[in-house]
């Protein structure tokens, strides 16, 4: 009893899930906005219209924060949502991304990139479209990875009983937030490119978040065991 009493230290109460999710909003908005500003908006925004261009991206961003909010609930055992709700939210996010991609392709099936680069570069991208897919996949994965690391820092003291699912959820949120800005900048809207390159980047952030969440969960468990 004396040893336990000496080990007790005051800690800050865990923030409410909504407050924890709202902390992520500036980070997600900053990273996704930097990507958009660096690349520039796609040339066919007028053809897409404000609803399909900015409205769809705003909806994806809100959905990304909702996934982070669900992850925050996983970090509060007393407020944990049912497993069916968690999986339904993840499925809904996937369907939204596919639906937005299909709508974008139907409105503007841009198959050749038109970038503000020398004509020879555009010609190279037209002849070898896989280069554009590779660049988008790697670029959005790196941006999403940065956001996952920032999210992981905020979740590092998480008490989640399902840390892998928690990490996968905020990893999905990071991927969706990046894609919300990336889809406005990417000049190619073919299905294979959007679902392949952009979709692969989202899946990569989900896997990265799950791995980091699992690591943080095991580290917290072992640390708790040593302290006891």
SS (H, E, C) 77-135: HHHCCCHHHHHHHHHHHHHHHHHHHHHHHHHCCCCCCCCCCCHHHHHHHHHCHHHHHHH
pLDDT at 32 over 60: yes
**pLDDT band with cut points at 50, 70 and 90 for residue 142:** very high
- Distance from C-alpha of 93 to C-alpha of 40, rounded to nearest angstrom: 25
Please state, in angstroms and rounded to a whole number, the distance separating the CA atoms of residues 226 and 188: 53
Return the pLDDT at 183: 87
CA atoms of 107 and 49, how far apart (whole Å): 9
Q: Which two tokens stand for residue 26?
A: 């500036």
pLDDT of residue 225: 42
- Is residue 105 pLDDT above 60, yes or no? yes
- pLDDT value for 45: 82
Q: Residues of the chain with pLDDT > 70: what percent?
A: 78
State the DSSP code for 156.
Answer: T
Tokens representing residue 44 in the block: 């066919």
CB 21 within 8 A of CB 68: yes
The answer, yes or no, to whether residue 222 has pLDDT greater than 70, is no
Confidence of residue 157 (pLDDT cuts 50, 70, 90): low
| pLDDT computed for residue 74 by the predictor | 79
Residues in the chain: 228
The percent of residues in the chain predicted with pLDDT above 90, rounded, is 19
**pLDDT at 123 > cutoff 80:** no
Place of tokens 């007393």: 78
- Average pLDDT of the residues of the chain: 80
- Contact indicator for 112, 126 with CB cutoff of 8 Å: yes
Residue among 65, 80, 60 at smallest CA distance from 21:
65
Q: Do 123 and 183 meet the contact criterion of CB atoms below 8 Å apart?
A: no
Report the C-alpha gap between 211 and 141 in whole angstroms: 15
Contact 176, 202 (CB under 8 A): yes
| pLDDT digits 0-9 by tens, 59-104 | 999 999 999 998 888 776 667 788 888 888 888 888 988 898 888 8
Q: How confident is the model at residue 171 (pLDDT cuts 50, 70, 90)?
A: very high
- Which residue would you say has higher pLDDT here, 124 or 205? 205
pLDDT the model gives residue 174: 92
Residue 82 main-chain phi, psi, to 5 deg: -60, 150
Please, which residues have CB within 8 angstroms of residue 171's CB and are 6 or more apart in sequence?
Answer: 144, 148, 151, 205, 206, 207, 208, 209, 210, 212, 213
Q: What tokens were used for 86?
A: 């968690």
Cα separation, 202 vs 153, whole angstroms: 19
- What are the respective helix, strand and coil percentages of the chain, to the nearest 5? 80, 0, 20
Nearest of 220, 209, 153, 213 to residue 178 by alpha carbon: 209
Q: Contact at 8 Å (CB) between 67 and 90?
A: yes
């Amino acid at each position: 009893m004396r040893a336990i009493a000496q080990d007790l230290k005051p800690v800050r109460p865990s923030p409410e899930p909504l407050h924890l999710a709202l902390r992520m909003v500036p980070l997600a908005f900053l990273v996704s906005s930097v990507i958009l500003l660096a690349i520039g908006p796609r040339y066919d925004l007028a053809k897409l219209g404000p609803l399909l261009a900015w409205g769809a991206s705003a909806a994806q961003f809100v959905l990304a924060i909702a996934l982070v909010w669900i992850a925050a609930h996983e970090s509060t055992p007393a407020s944990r949502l049912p497993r069916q709700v968690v999986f339904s939210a993840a499925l809904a996010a996937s369907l939204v991304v596919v639906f937005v991609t299909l709508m974008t392709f139907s409105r503007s099936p841009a198959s050749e990139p038109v970038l503000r680069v020398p004509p020879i570069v555009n010609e190279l991208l037209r002849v070898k479209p896989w280069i554009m897919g590779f660049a988008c996949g790697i670029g959005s994965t790196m941006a999403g990875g940065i956001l996952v690391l920032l999210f992981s820092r905020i979740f590092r003291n998480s008490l989640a009983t399902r840390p892998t699912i928690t990490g996968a959820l905020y990893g999905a949120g990071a991927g969706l937030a990046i894609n919300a800005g990336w889809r406005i900048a990417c000049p190619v809207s073919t299905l294979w490119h959007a679902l392949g390159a952009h979709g692969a980047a989202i899946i990569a952030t989900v896997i990265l978040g799950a791995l980091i969440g699992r690591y943080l969960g095991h580290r917290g468990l072992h640390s708790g065991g040593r302290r006891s």
